[in-house]
Every structure is written in C-alpha cells, then in structure tokens.
C-alpha cells in the first residue's frame, strides 16, 4: 500500500461525509462537492493500486538483472555494448 492509495481512500471517505452533510443540511452544492471528492479519491486509489501492481511485477525483473550483473560483469558489459551498437545503428537507419 502506498501514499496514493491511502490518500485516495481518505479523500473518498471525506467526500462521503461531505455528501452526507449536504443531504442533512439540504445543501446541493455541498452534496456535489462531496461526490466530486469521492470521484477524485477513487481515482487516486486506483492509481495507487496500479502503482503497487506494476511495482510487484517489475521489481523481480530488476532484482534478476542486478544479480546477473553481479555474477557476470564481463558478460553484462558485452551485452550492454552490443545493445548500444544496435541502438546506434537503428537510430542512424542502418
């Protein structure tokens, strides 16, 4: 769980409270603001959940790459050189 998920949940809850107060006070503006805050909070929460999912999927790949570089530094340097040359040739149009 990251700060986006937590802040999104808090904003969503605050929006629900504001909407409820708007209903109790018969204030349409406050109700609309509450619904807007709920939407904003839910959006931020979904963004935070997506960040967590990407982090969980990508982190093992980075860990494997780091381990490969530690175990095989010369092979890593050669691979980096080959990829660099391929990128240069691709950008030059060859």
Domain boundaries, the chain: 3-93
Give 3-56 pLDDT, tens digit per residue. 999 999 999 999 999 999 999 999 999 999 999 999 999 999 999 999 999 989
Does the predicted model carry a pTM greater than 0.85? Answer: no
The one-character DSSP state at 61 is H
**Non-local CB neighbours of 7 within 8 Å, separated by 6+ positions:** 41, 44, 48
> CA 31, CA 61: separation in Å to the nearest integer?
46
């Amino acid at each position: 769980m990251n700060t986006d998920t937590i802040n999104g949940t808090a904003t969503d809850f605050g929006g629900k409270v504001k909407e409820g107060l708007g209903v109790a006070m018969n204030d349409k503006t406050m109700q609309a603001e509450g619904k807007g805050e709920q939407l904003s909070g839910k959006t931020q929460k979904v963004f935070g959940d997506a960040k967590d999912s990407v982090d969980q999927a990508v982190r093992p790949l980075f860990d494997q790459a780091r381990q490969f570089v530690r175990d095989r530094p010369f092979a890593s340097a050669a691979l980096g050189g080959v990829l660099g040359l391929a990128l240069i040739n691709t950008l030059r149009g060859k």
